[in-house]
Amino acid sequence: MKKIFTLLFASTFLFASCSDDGEVGPQGPPGEDGLGAIPAIFEVESDFVYDSGADYWTTDLITFENFTNFETYETDVVLVYRLDAVGEYNDGPVDEWSLLPQNFFTTEGTIQYVFNHTFVDAEIFIDGNYTLNNLDPGFTDGQIFRIVIIPGDVYSSSNFDENNLGSVMKEFNLNVSDIKMAN
């Protein structure tokens, strides 16, 4: 009986020690030894200015170096969110954000918040399918935007819903305290 127990113990140990390590787990959060820099997130408030020659409304250039603690590259992904409203949740205010482009249907036609960017700056526009010179100031004045710059290698290896600012912030462990504000 003693020999059977020893043989059984030895074979169990042998088979257990020969197994593979299993599946590789998910990639950890980016950092100094990770894929790249942590994304930058910042907030700007802007009054749009009407450009009569182009018939659209535009912001001043938003220069990234004023907000990021890393060098930006052409491969970086830029996401821009517009503050739509402030709602209530559990007796407290909750910001409601929408990813650009964002459409609105007015009595005159359709307008759209859009943006373009390089790897050093961005500009936000309001474009439409009618003459915009008399656009309601509710669309042009005091607009608040959050801009997220995500290094391309981090973006491609992440899993989040880019339409949801909360999902983006959760994926990269960003908190409200991480948001840099424009001066």
Dmax (CA) of the chain: 97
144 phi and psi, to 5 degrees?
A: -115, 130
Residue 28 maps to a domain: no
Residues in the chain: 183
pTM of the model: 0.76
DSSP letter (8 states) at residue 64: G
Do the bridges between strand 77-89 and strand 62-63 make them parallel or antiparallel, or are there none, so unpaired? unpaired
| pLDDT of 62 | 93
Query: Other C-beta atoms within 10 Å of 181: how many?
Result: 9
In a domain, 90, yes or no: yes
- The confidence score (pLDDT) of residue 38 equals 73
SS3 21: coil
- Domain assignment present for 26: no
Q: Decide if 44 is inside a domain.
A: yes
| Total structural domains within the chain | 1
**30 located within any domain:** no
H-only helix segments in 18-115: none
Residues 162 and 122: their CA atoms lie apart, in Å, by 18
Range of the domain at 41: 37-181
10-residue mean pLDDT profile of the chain (183 residues): values are 48 48 54 57 95 95 85 92 88 89 96 96 96 95 95 86 91 88 73
* Cβ atoms 57, 67 nearer than 8 A: no
User: For residue 67, is it within any domain?
Assistant: yes
Q: Per residue, what are the HEC states of 13-43?
A: HHHHHCCCCCCCCCCCCCCCCCCCCCCEEEE
What's residue 7's pLDDT? 47
Report if residue 111 sits inside a domain.
Answer: yes
Are 84 and 98 spatial neighbours (Cβ–Cβ below 8 Å)? yes
